[in-house]
């Protein structure tokens, strides 16, 4: 069917469209209708249904006779192992883990934090939670103990499931001490921990609190799937906002099932049984949606890859995985391709592998720059599909719907709005803009199924962050435009969120950490352009009067502070001491102007600037570290 017809069909009858898509899901009690708008502008989907996510992702495939189909391929170049798990095995493993959690008192609605590396057990832990109706919150392994503690206090988990360690190139990351430190720091104390011991590092267990993953499953009854209502939270995933307090995005069970299932064929063009690979991490939304849930709900084989695009062992790793596992559709972040291109600009590794199985490459998580897209197109000779979405949405807002009706690719655009999304460009006053005009990107309410209904424990923040600025719309936080053909262009964030190697980070959170250094009186963090990671955080430090220690020492301490408090994923390595920060007359730091100076771009002198001379001081300081050229 033509994309335009499907999109218009959805627009004319959203209720009919989403009830039709819901037929692909196994319901314990089917929904009587799709949209529940009683609490508008807060909306819910399929609220009166009863359903279980794990049943739809695992058990129903076994029931349908596909138990021998491979559900998960764990390919781990960092441990030199490849391991396959069928749907039938997955069902047994997940039911057993869920049974053990239930025996320890975990029930519907309880929260469970998962802090694990890229091993199949991470997926099993997620599925065991949703099997019981428990609400998981996966925390990315690159976050430090403090970030884990903040999440423990916000979602007050009954249990934490963790790996003993993660493996980064050249070092083993000991997770268990980070878990211990986080529990120590947090006010809320979980009742117990389950530790998955890896041979690279066997962690010490605290008697009475910690349980060994295998040991605690001995002799327990496997758990059946527990039906939950359609609006029950499947999980909470924390993402960066403008402050140090992350936002707990809630994923509602039923809408999540329906929407993700729809995308697998229509966007990613795979049929049940095909191998699908998203090279991300379970700690991010891409990992939740497209390593764990969508491929399994749709009956695909998912690849859990524990490695990096380069260095594990070389820039050909991705091509080997695609060849060895017969990957049909492949999804990663543009930064991964930039890393490969840097190591292997001529694509010599690619020639060593047979990639005829691959039908398309999907990029998201950050802006896909034209150079990277063209390089990937030339190398792989398959369509390269940029698509745009967010943790909040859980699935693509705009994409090229390859499995539905491929649209011409326009490089620099993630293509067109998918059914469910009425995307508009608004000016500051909230007026829709003509094609080709830049503005804030907003989505007309209601958002489609699977998107966040609110934030965990923070409804007011949800309203304020997303719904208040443009009444009747969801504010995405991105700015851009739509062209005459309806193609979207995503240009920049409108807030202080930056994107480092496809990871969404808050400059505000880093500023809060830097402000905690005893010698720092005031600070600002901006995102400067980086060839590999897209952006890198850079800190500007104004010192307390009278401090006359060497600046290099203070910078070093600040870098360590951010690494210790937020984690290595922040990639905070650039900082410099300045006398003053450029501000408006009302005292707002001119971060956007500082970015332009650092990147060596032209800029318009802000009309409200207090003292233009400070910009020259900033430029000179930046030049001493090789920026602002």
Residues that bind ligand AMP (CB under 6 A): 239, 285, 364-368, 386-388, 390-391, 414, 476-478, 490, 493, 499, 504
Phi, psi of 559 (to 5 degrees): -60, -45
Closest CA relative to residue 280, chosen from 295, 262, 258: 295
Residue 214 CB, nearest distance to ligand COA (Å)? 23
Among 98, 361, 569, 615, binds ligand COA (CB under 6 A): 569
Residue 281 CB, nearest distance to ligand COA (Å)? 6
Among 179, 571, 577, 581, binds ligand COA (CB under 6 A): 571
CA 617 to chain CA centroid, nearest Å: 37
Closest CA relative to residue 457, chosen from 255, 251, 249: 249
Nearest to ligand AMP of 467, 559 (CB atom): 467
On whether the CB atoms of residues 525 and 539 are closer than 8 A, the answer is yes
- The interface partner of residue 614, options being ligand COA, ligand AMP, none and the CB cut-off 5 to 8 Å by kind, is none
Nearest to ligand COA of 55, 293 (CB atom): 293
> Quick one: angle between helices 507-515 and 551-565, nearest 10?
120
On whether the CB atoms of residues 28 and 13 are closer than 8 A, the answer is no
Task: Name 80's Cβ contacts closer than 8 Å, sequence gap at least 6.
Answer: none
Name the one range near ligand COA by CB under 6 A: 128-136, 190-198, 332-340, 481-489.
332-340
Nearest to ligand AMP of 124, 386 (CB atom): 386
Helices (H), 225-369: 253-266, 285-287, 294-297, 317-325, 334-343
- The interface partner of residue 568, options being ligand COA, ligand AMP, none and the CB cut-off 5 to 8 Å by kind, is ligand COA
Instruction: Tell the residue number behind the tokens 């599925």, with chain if given.
Output: 127
Instruction: Kindly tell me the burial class for residue 382, based on how many C-beta atoms sit within 10 Å of its own C-beta (0-12, 13-18, 19 or more).
Output: middle
343, two tokens: 């190591």
- The interface partner of residue 235, options being ligand AMP, ligand COA, none and the CB cut-off 5 to 8 Å by kind, is none
Task: Name 577's Cβ contacts closer than 8 Å, sequence gap at least 6.
Answer: 541, 542, 543, 551, 554, 555, 621
- The interface partner of residue 339, options being ligand AMP, ligand COA, none and the CB cut-off 5 to 8 Å by kind, is ligand COA
- The interface partner of residue 390, options being ligand AMP, ligand COA, none and the CB cut-off 5 to 8 Å by kind, is ligand AMP
- The interface partner of residue 173, options being ligand COA, ligand AMP, none and the CB cut-off 5 to 8 Å by kind, is ligand COA
Nearest to ligand COA of 278, 402 (CB atom): 278
370, two tokens: 């034209």
On whether the CB atoms of residues 182 and 152 are closer than 8 A, the answer is yes
Residue 229 CB, nearest distance to ligand COA (Å)? 31
Residue 305 CB, nearest distance to ligand COA (Å)? 10
179 binds ligand COA (CB under 6 A): no
Among 21, 96, 329, 335, binds ligand COA (CB under 6 A): 335
501 binds ligand COA (CB under 6 A): yes
Closest CA relative to residue 25, chosen from 421, 422, 450, 452: 450
- The interface partner of residue 141, options being ligand AMP, ligand COA, none and the CB cut-off 5 to 8 Å by kind, is ligand COA
How far, CA to CA in Å, does 542 sit from each of 303, 536, 537, 566, 618?
A: 47, 20, 17, 21, 12
- The interface partner of residue 245, options being ligand AMP, ligand COA, none and the CB cut-off 5 to 8 Å by kind, is none
Among 365, 439, 446, 450, binds ligand COA (CB under 6 A): 365
Q: What is the Cα–Cα distance from 577 to 589, expressed in whole angstroms?
A: 16
Among 31, 252, 502, 539, binds ligand COA (CB under 6 A): 502
288 binds ligand COA (CB under 6 A): no
Task: Name 510's Cβ contacts closer than 8 Å, sequence gap at least 6.
Answer: 525, 537, 539, 562, 566, 570, 572
Residue 85 CB, nearest distance to ligand COA (Å)? 21
- The interface partner of residue 274, options being ligand COA, ligand AMP, none and the CB cut-off 5 to 8 Å by kind, is none
Instruction: Tell the residue number behind the tokens 């990613």, with chain if given.
Output: 268
Nearest to ligand COA of 106, 119 (CB atom): 119
295 binds ligand COA (CB under 6 A): no
336 binds ligand COA (CB under 6 A): yes
Q: What is the Cα–Cα distance from 445 to 420, expressed in whole angstroms?
A: 10
Q: What is the Cα–Cα distance from 91 to 79, expressed in whole angstroms?
A: 25
Closest CA relative to residue 453, chosen from 13, 41, 27, 22: 41
132 binds ligand COA (CB under 6 A): no
Residue 567 CB, nearest distance to ligand COA (Å)? 7
Nearest to ligand AMP of 96, 332 (CB atom): 332
- The interface partner of residue 571, options being ligand AMP, ligand COA, none and the CB cut-off 5 to 8 Å by kind, is ligand COA
CB atoms within 10 A of CB 599: 18
Instruction: Kindly tell me the burial class for residue 597, based on how many C-beta atoms sit within 10 Å of its own C-beta (0-12, 13-18, 19 or more).
Output: buried
Nearest to ligand COA of 569, 597 (CB atom): 569
Nearest to ligand COA of 86, 335 (CB atom): 335
142 binds ligand COA (CB under 6 A): yes
Sign of CA dihedral 256, 257, 262, 263: positive
Name the one range near ligand COA by CB under 6 A: 199-207, 290-298, 418-426, 499-507.
499-507
Q: What is the Cα–Cα distance from 504 to 341, expressed in whole angstroms?
A: 23
Which chain residues interact with ligand COA by CB under 6 A? 141-142, 166, 168, 173, 280-281, 284, 286, 308-310, 333, 335-336, 339, 365, 501-503, 568-569, 571
């Amino acid at each position: 069917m033509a994309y335009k017809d499907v999109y218009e069909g959805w627009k004319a009858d959203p209720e009919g469209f989403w009830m039709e898509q819901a037929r692909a899901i196994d319901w314990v009690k089917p929904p009587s209708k799709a949209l529940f708008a009683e609490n508008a502008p807060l909306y819910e989907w399929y609220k009166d249904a009863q359903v279980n996510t794990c049943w739809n992702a695992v058990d129903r495939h076994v029931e349908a006779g596909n138990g021998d189909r491979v559900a998960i391929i764990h390919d781990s170049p960092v441990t030199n192992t490849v391991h396959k798990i069928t749907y039938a095995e997955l069902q047994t493993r997940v039911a057993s883990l869920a049974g053990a959690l239930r025996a320890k008192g975990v029930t519907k609605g309880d929260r469970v934090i998962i802090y694990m590396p890229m091993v199949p057990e991470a997926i099993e832990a997620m599925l065991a939670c949703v099997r019981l109706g428990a609400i998981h919150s996966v925390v990315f392994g690159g976050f430090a103990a403090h970030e884990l503690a903040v999440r423990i206090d916000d979602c007050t988990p009954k249990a934490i499931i963790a790996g003993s360690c993660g493996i980064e190139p050249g070092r083993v990351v000991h997770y268990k001490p980070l878990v211990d430190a986080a529990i120590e720091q947090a006010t809320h104390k979980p009742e117990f921990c389950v530790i998955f011991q890896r041979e690279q590092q066997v962690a010490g267990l605290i008697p009475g609190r910690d349980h060994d993953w295998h040991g605690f499953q001995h002799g327990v009854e496997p758990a059946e799937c527990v039906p939950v209502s359609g609006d029950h939270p499947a999980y909470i995933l924390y993402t960066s906002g403008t402050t140090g307090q992350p936002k707990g995005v809630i994923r509602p069970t039923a809408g999540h099932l329906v929407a993700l299932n729809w995308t697998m064929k229509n966007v990613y063009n795979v049929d049940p049984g095909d191998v699908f690979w998203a090279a991300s991490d379970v700690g991010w939304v891409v990992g939740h949606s497209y390593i764990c849930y969508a491929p399994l709900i749709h009956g695909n084989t998912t690849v859990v890859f524990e490695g990096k695009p380069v260095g594990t062992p070389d820039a050909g790793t991705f091509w080997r995985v695609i060849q060895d596992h017969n990957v049909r559709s492949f999804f990663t972040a543009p930064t991964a391709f930039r890393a490969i291109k840097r190591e292997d600009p001529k694509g010599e590794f690619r020639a060593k592998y047979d990639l005829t199985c691959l039908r398309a490459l999907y990029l998201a998580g950050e802006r896909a720059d034209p150079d990277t897209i063209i390089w990937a197109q030339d190398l792989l000779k398959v369509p390269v599909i940029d698509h745009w979405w967010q943790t909040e949405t859980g699935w693509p807002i705009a994409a090229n719907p390859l499995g539905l009706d491929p649209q011409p690719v326009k490089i620099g655009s993630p293509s067109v709005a998918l059914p469910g999304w009425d995307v508009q460009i608004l000016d500051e006053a909230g007026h829709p803009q003509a094609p080709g005009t830049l503005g804030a990107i907003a989505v007309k309410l209601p958002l489609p199924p699977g998107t966040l209904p609110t934030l965990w424990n923070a409804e007011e923040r949800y309203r304020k962050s997303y719904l208040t600025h443009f009444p009747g719309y969801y504010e995405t936080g991105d700015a851009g435009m739509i062209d005459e053909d309806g193609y979207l262009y995503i240009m920049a964030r409108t807030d202080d969120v930056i994107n480092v190697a496809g990871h969404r980070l808050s400059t505000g959170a880093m500023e809060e950490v830097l402000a905690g250094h005893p010698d720092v009186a005031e600070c600002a963090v901006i995102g400067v352009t980086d060839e590999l990671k897209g952006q890198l955080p850079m800190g500007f430090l104004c010192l307390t009067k009278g401090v006359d220690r060497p600046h290099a020492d203070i910078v070093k301490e600040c870098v360590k502070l951010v690494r210790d408090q937020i984690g290595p994923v922040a990639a905070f390595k650039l900082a410099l001491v300045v006398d003053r920060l450029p501000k408006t007359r009302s005292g707002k730091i001119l971060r956007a102007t500082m970015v332009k100076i650092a990147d060596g771009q032209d800029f318009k002198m802000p009309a409200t600037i207090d003292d233009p001379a400070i910009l020259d001081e900033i430029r000179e300081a930046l030049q001493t570290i090789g920026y602002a050229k």
